[in-house]
Structure 1
């Protein structure tokens, strides 16, 4: 009988503790913003897969586990499920010259934009589509001394098309600096890849370039829908 009474007491105590834990307030704070080209004022487009992320370090805990926010294709980001607190915030592994970390008190609806200098810009892009090919011609504006390692033209059925997400691509390995007056041409052969393309689907193309910098990601022109 004593053992049974002890068991009941332990069970009631455990339930009370569980009720206390369940009564803690959930995350009610949020952080959102944009990555803005410091020279043009345009959004700095990203890859949603293997693209720029924002590292958040919440203060007051030891050891601290970093949290990461994924940046959207258009260069914006948002997370509305954070706890109200002070955080160290730093974009990492981006397609722009690295920025310093900052301390931000995050509460409901906190907005933080980042003005950044992209490693490069795709300029004067022209896309031509025939029954045989997709042809992209463009210039590259280089903002750093690092070599341009690769240029690419990417095709997919989703507007999130890019180097990590594509069904067809045409790439050029450079490994050198470029001049803005230099014109580049990339072509996707539709005839040779006809089995991979359904003309009844929607298709999008995007052109990007990769600088040879530590952990750099692709810089892009905006995705364009094309009719095949």
Structure 2
């Protein structure tokens, strides 16, 4: 009899373990933009290794952070979050760091971040002549740190940037810059025939990086050029 009773107990435990849980699925979402406080323009990002948004959901100990990826145009969206209070912190950005904030996420919640980019890439013009693609631009620093480098990056993907490129022209600066200085960078397509295919559309984007811990590049918008 004992063995039969034990089998019944085990069967009950297995059945209860297989029952559908009563937890509701995620019903909330968070979206928004990173906006330059002066120009009111979106702040361009790297899609790889760029800005992320750290979320700490309240009510758990210990709290395990998770992260939202910011798109290369400076927007973000996640529609699979649980309704709750969160601590929201942008991290590893290409702008002057801002403080965390507490936010109730319920339904379709929108949160824009108004920030100051480390650098503004101004008046960027990218043109092609023969096999040479040339970028001319100015840069405006918003912090006193040296500008580390500038670069022109090309890829067949419109999310082109320093970590996503088929070819690049970079120049070390390592100095405070004059916002009136016009910089010129060029890529000769003929030097990259194994990666840059003539007759195909490619995207070129100008970037500049400040010399600060964990800083990311600031960018102008990508320009589409037929090679």
Task: Give the TM-score, by structure 1 length.
Answer: 0.96
> 2:107 matched to which residue of 1?
108
Distance across 1 between alignment mates of 2:2 and 2:198: 77
Distance across 1 between alignment mates of 2:107 and 2:67: 18
Correspondence 1:128-143 to 2 at 5 A: 128-143=127-142
Matched, 1:163 2:162: yes
| Shift, 1:177, TM fit | 0.8
Distance across 2 between alignment mates of 1:2 and 1:224: 78
| Shift, 1:19, TM fit | 1.7
| Shift, 1:180, TM fit | 0.8
Matched, 1:12 2:7: no
> 1:118 matched to which residue of 2?
117
Distance across 2 between alignment mates of 1:150 and 1:90: 27
Segments ≥4 residues shifted beyond 6 Å: none
Distance across 2 between alignment mates of 1:186 and 1:136: 5
Correspondence 1:156-195 to 2 at 5 A: 156-195=155-194
| Shift, 1:20, TM fit | 4.8
Question: Which deviates the most, 184-193 or 89-98?
Answer: 184-193
| Shift, 1:159, TM fit | 0.3
Distance across 1 between alignment mates of 2:8 and 2:74: 56
Alignment deviations for residues 64-110 of structure 1 (CA, whole Å, 9 cap, x no partner): 10010000011000111111110000001100000000000111101
Matched, 1:39 2:38: yes
> 2:152 matched to which residue of 1?
153
Partner SS, residue 7 of structure 2: helix
Partner SS, residue 194 of structure 2: helix
The RMSD of aligned alpha carbons is 1.2
Aligned residue pairs, count? 227
Distance across 2 between alignment mates of 1:135 and 1:3: 83
Structure 1 residue ranges without an equivalent (≥5): none
Question: Which deviates the most, 9-18 or 129-138?
Answer: 9-18
| Shift, 1:24, TM fit | 1.1
| Shift, 1:200, TM fit | 3.4
| Shift, 1:10, TM fit | 1.8
